[in-house]
Chain A
Amino acid sequence: MGELRRTARIFWVHARVSLLAELQYRTDAWARLISTIALLASSLAAVLIVYSHVDSINGWTSSDLIVVLGSFFLVGAITNGIVHLSMAELAKDIKQGTLDFRLLKPVDAQVLALVQKVDPWRMLDVLVGIGLVAWGMAHAGPDSALGTLGAVGGALAMLLAATIVIAGFWLLITCIAFWTVQGEGILWALDDMFEHLRWPITIFGPALRVALMTVFPAGLAITVPAQALTGRLGAGMTLVTILVAATFAIAARLAWRAALRRYEGASG
């Protein structure tokens, strides 16, 4: 328990440092606001245009899609607001040799690597996400399962699972980047790919669906909280999510260890 509290404290301390650093650059606030608005506007426009042709796709109505968007913003805050940035910082540390400092701290370097940078503006996306979810739930039909306590509880559990999936996957990819010495390029590409996943993966064909659950599991991470909230989350999907989360967590740990060994081998 003490270790958990210490980890939480370490996380908070890093978030605080990140926040302090970000506040040094005030011009960013506007750029961020416009980015979020652009993202929100284009997402809503996409839903509106698509649903001007049909009322539901595979059972998903437009309000359901708004909930998916909400999940997208919530998971996006974690992915692009913390994990991606921390991994970019990790890649920089490897390139500059400053990873040495992190490895000598009396804290699990892997945990530290995942939470070392937090984007405070991106945390506002959490509010956007919650807002979208609330709106979607409010406009759902009377027989929809939206808004039940079970749904919210399930969603929180799925968000936790989503976080593990995202963190595990991103760390795994970053570690592989060590071996091929490609640096941060891959991370920005992943960031980009994430932006495209504003749709529930169940409306995709089987090949793409499986790919977005395993090869690039961000699709899974965004879909399952939305499924929980709209009462669609079945036992099968829950099991798959847990399995995927566990697999990536383990794979990431192994990759991290291997990457450190490789980092040692390259330094001098």
Chain B
Amino acid sequence: MPTPSDIAIRADHASRTFHVPVREPGLRASMRAIVRRSTREVRAVQDVSFEIPRGEVVGFLGPNGAGKTTTLKLLSGLLHPTGGSVDVLGFRPQDRDHALLRRIALVMGNRQQLHWDIPAQDSYEMLRAIYDVPTDRFQATVDELSQLLRLDGLLDKPVRQLSLGERMKCELAGSLLHRPDVVFLDEPTLGLDVQAQRRVREFVAEYAASTGATILLTSHYMADIEALAERVLVIHHGTLQFDGPLRELAARTSDRKRVTLEVEGGAGSLRARANEIGDVVDADGNELVVEVQRSELRASLAALLDLPGVLDFTVEDEPIEHVMERVFERAAETTS
């Protein structure tokens, strides 16, 4: 049973609701809006509870709009919960105590905090002053991060001259200069090419191992989570759907592949035969979409390609939304 001081992050029935204004197009509606403004309620996070011990690397997985970023903002103190409570390192994050802020870091994949026009090194200097890091310790950290992320030659060029991948690496380094105990990573590989994504993942893994920091990572890429987290929390429609080891989730979800066939003539006529090979998801016009077991991919694909009129095919992973749906169905089944 972990003692309270071993727990880095705790969420206790945390909820967050927004009131979003609704605006309609057109001249008359605009004039009406001057007098009356309508809003609708959005339950971004509902009744989420979990505990994360120090040093653990945890992944938040879920489709876009599931509530991952909102949860992360609740944990970092950018939002206060409209229900329940949140605790990080013994503080209430929404109080934004400076003592806590010195020990956490937030990295957002699609937003940058480094100054655009000047070299990263100069922004780092500014961060050093803000976090009050002693010079020698600071230099050691910069050197270490520079080595891990391969930042040579990048730190003295204006940030706007760097590629997206290079910028992301500099951003990552900049966020860790004060050696935080808790790191929140929000979609850190968003928009990066495959190589850059891999490098970021490698870095995060190494960083976690060498510093013992508690790391929370959100992503809608399964690959991010697979590479980094032993434990995964699945969020969908604002609720926690799964909390457990990744192996368990992986076992449940990645057993299917989706094959899309381009056929001559009507795909509808092939539906019955395709259903004998796998599960037909869609048979519309010239496109036939079939899901098959990963373990039988080779045989199923051969059988599908044998169907008359097949011109072309693609093989993909199941879309994450479908994976989620099946996870939730299974979760519902096991609880009932």
Interface residues of A (CB under 8 A from B): 6, 9-10, 13-14, 16-17, 20-21, 24-25, 96-98, 100-101, 103-107, 264-268
B158 at the interface (CB under 8 A from A): yes
Judging by beta carbons under 8 Å apart, are A100 and B19 in contact?
Answer: no
Judging by beta carbons under 8 Å apart, are B78 and A106 in contact?
Answer: no
Could you list 11 further interchain pairs (A-B, Cβ under 8 angstroms) beyond the known A100-B73, A106-B102? A13-B125, A14-B126, A20-B117, A20-B122, A21-B115, A100-B78, A103-B77, A104-B101, A264-B79, A265-B19, A267-B73
Judging by beta carbons under 8 Å apart, are B130 and A268 in contact?
Answer: no
Judging by beta carbons under 8 Å apart, are B113 and A101 in contact?
Answer: yes
Judging by beta carbons under 8 Å apart, are B108 and A100 in contact?
Answer: yes
B28 at the interface (CB under 8 A from A): no
Judging by beta carbons under 8 Å apart, are A10 and B78 in contact?
Answer: no
Distance in Å: Cβ of A268 to nearest Cβ of chain B:
6
Interface residues of B (CB under 8 A from A): 18-19, 42, 44, 69-70, 73, 76-80, 96, 98-99, 101-102, 104-106, 108, 111-113, 115-118, 122-123, 125-126, 129-132, 158
| CB nearest to B70 among chain A residues | A268
- A10, A97, A98, A265: the one within 8 Å of B130 (CB): A10
Judging by beta carbons under 8 Å apart, are A20 and B118 in contact?
Answer: yes
- A14, A24, A97, A106: the one within 8 Å of B158 (CB): A24
Inter-chain contacts of B125 with A (CB < 8 A): 13
* Known contacts A20-B122, A21-B117, A24-B158; A104 and B78 CB within 8 A of each other: yes
Inter-chain contacts of B108 with A (CB < 8 A): 100
Inter-chain contacts of A24 with B (CB < 8 A): 117-118, 158
Q: How far apart are the CA atoms of A112 and B79 in the complex, in Å?
A: 20
Distance in Å: Cβ of A112 to nearest Cβ of chain B:
8
Judging by beta carbons under 8 Å apart, are A103 and B112 in contact?
Answer: no
Inter-chain contacts of A266 with B (CB < 8 A): 18
B77, B78, B132: most-surrounded residue (chain A CB, <10 A):
B78
Q: How far apart are the CA atoms of A88 and B112 in the complex, in Å?
A: 18
* A–B pairs, 21, beta carbons within 8 Å: A16-B122, A16-B126, A17-B118, A20-B117, A20-B118, A21-B116, A24-B117, A24-B118, A96-B111, A100-B106, A100-B111, A101-B113, A103-B77, A104-B106, A106-B98, A106-B101, A106-B130, A107-B130, A267-B73, A268-B69, A268-B70
| CB nearest to B93 among chain A residues | A104
The 7 A-B pairs at the shortest CB distance, nearest first, are namely A106-B98, A101-B113, A21-B117, A106-B101, A13-B129, A20-B118, A106-B102
Q: How far apart are the CA atoms of A175 and B42 in the complex, in Å?
A: 24
* Known contacts A13-B126, A24-B158, A100-B78; A265 and B118 CB within 8 A of each other: no
Inter-chain contacts of A13 with B (CB < 8 A): 125-126, 129-130
Q: How far apart are the CA atoms of A9 and B128 in the complex, in Å?
A: 11
Inter-chain contacts of B80 with A (CB < 8 A): 264
Q: How far apart are the CA atoms of A227 and B80 in the complex, in Å?
A: 48
Distance in Å: Cβ of A100 to nearest Cβ of chain B:
5
Q: How far apart are the CA atoms of A107 and B112 in the complex, in Å?
A: 19
Q: How far apart are the CA atoms of A255 and B125 in the complex, in Å?
A: 31
Inter-chain contacts of A106 with B (CB < 8 A): 98-99, 101-102, 130-132
Inter-chain contacts of B79 with A (CB < 8 A): 264, 267
Distance in Å: Cβ of B89 to nearest Cβ of chain A:
14
Inter-chain contacts of B99 with A (CB < 8 A): 106
* Known contacts A13-B125, A24-B117; A98 and B112 CB within 8 A of each other: yes
Judging by beta carbons under 8 Å apart, are A104 and B132 in contact?
Answer: no
* Known contacts A20-B122, A24-B118, A96-B111; A104 and B77 CB within 8 A of each other: yes
Judging by beta carbons under 8 Å apart, are A265 and B106 in contact?
Answer: no
